[in-house]
Chains A and B, each alone.
Chain A
Amino acid sequence: MESGQHMLRTGRRGTLFEFSMALRDLVTSYHRRGLAWSLAWHDVVSRYRGSILGPFWITISMGLMVLGIGLLYAKLFGISVAEFMPYVAMGIVFFGLMAGTINEGCDTFVQASSMLSQTSLPMFTFIWRTVLRNLINLAHHAVIIVAVIIFFGLWRVMDVLPALGGLLLTIVNLAWIAMLAAIASARFRDIPQFVMSVMQFAIFMTPVFWKPDAFPDRHAFLTLNPFYHMLTTIRAPLLGQEADGLSYIILAIMAVLGWALTFSVFAITRRRIVHFL
């Protein structure tokens, strides 16, 4: 329906109509996925322009943190380095993906305000841009993961498929959280600060640096933390352990409910978002 050749914009015609328009935005963003990719790639390139190592600087700082915390905490907690280092490495890298996508999600529409107010580009394009940008960053940091997998011989025990499944579920969930954050931040400028505080808090409340052994299985402290499920479904299989099936189920339910909520909010606010900016 929407193509380069035909554009139709109308006033409100009821809720169903608003949902169909929101869906059209989504579909158009899919047809123009190349644009989201170009923008994401451009973001990464332009952010690190003139720097020799580029995004690998973050990789290096993450790597240092992995080394430091891996060695120190292994000693403090009395766990072997071989067990703890890969654990922390994956924790830091994958939590980085979550925090990055959600924090940057807040700026998604605000940053794109000039484009949104002069063109008919789909809004979803900018969400994909944020998600893809963070995946590109993850691809750089994956060096650390590969390093610990090789160094500690995890390739003998790891199970890639469930880890990829966990990663996919995580990304699907991060995308709706980022979009909800993007809409809310456009309207209320306190949201980015709030989200940042939550993510800072979450990194300590989630077993990124520590092992949840002190808790009985499925303790509410862990079960109620969505980041725990995201992390454990990716990390456990890579460490040669089995993630609790419940975590996959919770992530799947969260994805469905989260997208239902986000898509509804988007359908209702879509017309106004450009005016919020």
Chain B
Amino acid sequence: MTDVSIKVTDLTLRFPVYGVDAKSLKKNLARVTVGGRLGASTTGATEVTALSHLNLNLRAGDRLGLIGHNGSGKTTLLRALSGAYEPDEGQIEVRGRIAALLDLSLGIDPSATGVDNIRLRGRIAGMSSKEIEDKMDEIAEFSGLGPFLAMPMKTYSAGMQARLAFAVATAVEADVLLMDEWISVGDADFQKLAHRRLLNLVERAGILVLSSHDAGLLRLYCNKVMRLEGGVASEVKDIRRLDELLAAA
């Protein structure tokens, strides 16, 4: 547990964009505040540099907040930490079981029943069939959906769908929790429950990385903060210096 860590060294990540003419794009590049840096690769294809030369070291107990403009690379960094994107340069090393709460609808099949979706999503998140069956009751109870769990998810209201997705997504035991925006779903009652569950998860997880535009939230959950700007990261600072980073905009 204590050797939970995230170590990112000199990470550069570029998105090749296929089927776009780089030259026609360059004309419109004057003064953009959003987005990564567009450029042409050596082969002439358009590329977006979403992250460049990023370094990051986190240890157990670190709860890092990510701030930055739209398109500054927050989601990209979280996906890279989840192992989905391969670095173009540099290295990412994560020790500990990762849970990425980036997209609640991941692996959800609307025509399948609630129970089937719990199984499917659990499998994708890396749980074994047995683990899922063991947790089934707990997940079902937390979702508060009762008999609806035997119905196809497409018959759920948006809030009900979110409840189920949230219940499964947060059922995994994780050491490293990645979140793109704090998830707030459901009605007031459920939000309170969800809040407590997330806090619990955050406490158990050794490391949290949370991207958010909400300074209040970041102050509440994080003890460190980092600012991304066009894919370039600031230093990791104590959360008490959040205003400084925000002002630097």
Contact = CB atoms under 8 A, between A and B. Distances in A.
Contacts of A116: 84
Contacts of B34: none
Contacts of A146: none
A42 B97 contact: no
B111 A7 contact: no
A118 interface: yes
A38 interface: yes
A34 B93 CA distance: 26
Given A46-B109, A120-B83, A8 B92 contact: yes
Contacts of A5: 95-97
A275 B15 contact: yes
B16 A119 contact: no
Given A35-B123, A42-B120, A115 B107 contact: yes
B91 interface: yes
A11 B90 contact: yes
A4 B126 contact: yes
B87 A117 contact: no
Contacts of A46: 109, 111-112
Interface stretch (B98-106, B134-142, B186-194, B233-241): B98-106
Given A118-B100, A274-B85, A35 B109 contact: no
B112 A119 contact: no
A34 B95 contact: no
Interface string B105-144: 1110101100010011001101011000000000000000
Interface string A6-28: 11111110000000000000000
Nearest to B103: A118
Contact of B91 (A11, A38, A49, A271): A11
Task: Please indicate which of the listed interface residues A4, A34, A116 has the most CB atoms of chain B within 10 Å of its own CB.
Answer: A4
Interface residues of A, number: 33
A276 B90 CA distance: 21
B232 interface: no
A271 B119 CA distance: 29
A117 B93 contact: no
Contacts of B152: 49
Q: Which interface residue of A4, A7, A46 has the most chain B CB atoms within 10 A?
A: A7
Contacts of B116: 42, 45
Interface in B141-182: 152
A187 interface: yes
A75 interface: no
A148 interface: no
Contact of B100 (A49, A119, A274, A276): A119
Given A46-B112, A119-B106, A274-B85, A34 B123 contact: yes
18 contacts: A4-B126, A6-B94, A7-B83, A8-B92, A11-B90, A34-B128, A35-B124, A38-B119, A38-B123, A39-B123, A45-B116, A49-B111, A114-B106, A115-B124, A116-B84, A118-B82, A272-B16, A275-B16
Interface of A: 4-12, 32, 34-35, 38-39, 42, 45-46, 49, 114-121, 187, 270-272, 274-276
